Structure 1
């Protein structure tokens, strides 16, 4: 019972999903109202009522009212139906979530945690670590991106160019208890492309950091090299952090590169549409 209450607190009472999730004084049950005063409702009607309430109110305080309400608030059918109604579908229908309530809240919160990933707002949001050669530049894509919405990219020069972002998970709505208890999957993606007429290199490093910003887990594949006279096609780098243990409080995303022929200008690797997402395990 203690474990169940802890789970309910982490998912609802800690309020990491909605900024205005606190029910406030007016939402608290009257002290003079006992469970015996509540008339039992047919389960299908009670479930329909819960489906029309904000999700955080179902988890807390509705779940705490009585055994019947708790059973409905915890039911798989309630959260599966809520996912269906709000359009949270599995990308792979053959996979079934172990916990539909967790799947719902992760889908509800899912978004790219990186700022300005497509170079639409110059270099805003990025910390420049290395600005070699003729420095970073924003340019239009040379080769159409698989996602036709993307029209701009960051371009490196003949000296090493690297940029980084630090994501504070608690600021983004993923509190300490949630991260430690559930350890949701963290999906990283980055798109990179060379110029056809110049060799270049690409690097990426993504770290999961603790409260002191020391690495717990790291994704740092070998440098990718492109020869001169390549097809300048877009490539995608992806990775999913799983079972990384407790203590993750920040994510540091770093990428970049340079051209390998030391040509003045911007002939190095191009990057765009980078992303870091907290994902449901059944939907990565």
Structure 2
């Protein structure tokens, strides 16, 4: 049985090294996954030390505290350090810089007889004020998705484990998940905006959802608006999120040359997990 009081793993070349010193040594000489995996196999004490080392490397890389407990797998720290999934936007191509890449538009939504029923990209947004410069997503580029006269729909699925968020973190700490998007419409194109964000188990069972709908009339036209929501205490089992939005010019006589509703900066952000109370 492992005994925390003995010197197993602490005596190297007949020299006793305190735990704190070993952690510092391994922190600098074991800088790749293969090295640390080999160290895990030496003995029970070294296996415990490797978790402390990964935790220290993670906090150094992220530049902020990261939760610790004795039961946390080392892979939690490895993924957090290498993929840096927390406190960043997990939505790919949030404003159309890569046209419609990473977004899915179901075939049932597209009509062969109506080629205009689709999303386009505007750079800069036409008939709208500048996107807020206070928003980091728009600092270097003024670009947005726009839709024509007909209603449009698109969706993006985010698999949280693929992004580097370990199931242990999702199930044990349930970090807050912030979702947001900027939207607006031209002064001459009253429109509607719809957002639905869903949380799912691996088996496609829905855990929670956020629904939002806004009608852009009068003073709401010709300005950028932002919708925000935070998911908390959603329970264990979360593995993926769908971000879907649809919109259309429901109050205006259709004109094929107008792109009324604009959306930009779609965001899903998993916050850095905090210590449990």
Instruction: Give TM-score scaled by structure 2 length.
Output: 0.69
Q: Which runs of 5+ in 2 are unaligned?
A: 1-7, 133-137
User: Which 5+ residue runs of structure 1 have no aligned equivalent?
Assistant: 1-33, 90-95
2:63 corresponds, among 82, 88, 93, to 88
Match of residue 239 from structure 2? 249
Residue aligning to 1:92: none
Cα distance change on mapping 1:62 and 1:138 into 2, 3 Å: same
Q: How far apart are 1:88 and its partner, in Å?
A: 2.3
- Could you tell me how far apart the structure 2 residues matched to 1:113 and 1:54 are? 27
Task: Determine if the alignment matches structure 1 residue 227 to structure 2 residue 217.
Answer: yes
Range with greater deviation from structure 2 (209-218 or 123-132):
123-132
Cα displacement (A) at 1:191: 1.6
Q: Distance in 2 between matches of 1:218 and 1:261?
A: 30
CA RMSD of aligned residues (A): 3.6
The structure-2 alpha-carbon separation of the partners of 1:228 and 1:125, relative to structure 1 and needing over 3 Å to count, comes to same
Please give the per-residue CA displacement for 1:3-41, whole angstroms capped at 9, x wherever unaligned.
Answer: xxxxxxxxxxxxxxxxxxxxxxxxxxxxxxx63644442
| Aligned twin of 1:274 | 266
Question: After superposition, what is the alpha-carbon deviation per residue over 1:95-123, rounded to whole angstroms, capped at 9, x for unaligned?
Answer: x7654997996572334332221201111
Distance 1:62 1:234, change over 3 A: farther
Does the 8 Å contact 1:50/1:58 carry over to 2? no
Query: In structure 2, how many angstroms separate the alpha carbons of the residues matched to 1:66 and 1:268?
Result: 63
- Could you tell me how far 1:220 is from its partner in structure 2? 1.0
C-alpha contact 2:150 2:248 (8 A) present in aligned 1: yes
Provide, for residues 222-278 of structure 1, a one-character-per-residue CA deviation record: whole Å limited to 9, x for no partner: x11111464522222222222211222221110121123133133432111212222
Distance in 1 separating the partners of 2:220 and 2:234? 37
Distance verdict in 2 for CA 1:82–1:208, change over 3 Å: closer
Aligned to 2:141, which of 147, 150, 159? Answer: 150
Instruction: Decide which of 35, 44, 59 is 2:9's aligned counterpart.
Output: 35
Q: 1:86 is paired with a residue of what secondary structure? A: helix
> Cα distance 1:54–1:143, how it changes in 2: closer, same or farther (>3 A)?
farther
Separation in 1, partners of 2:238, 2:91 = 17
Q: What corresponds to 2:91 in structure 1? A: 114
TM-score in terms of structure 1 length: 0.68
Please give the alpha-carbon distance, in whole angstroms, between the structure 1 residues aligned to 2:38 and 2:49.
13
Cα distance in structure 1, aligned partners of 2:223 and 2:273: 30
Q: Structure 1 residues 178 and 60, CA, compared in 2 at 3 Å: closer, same or farther?
A: farther
Q: How many residues align?
A: 239
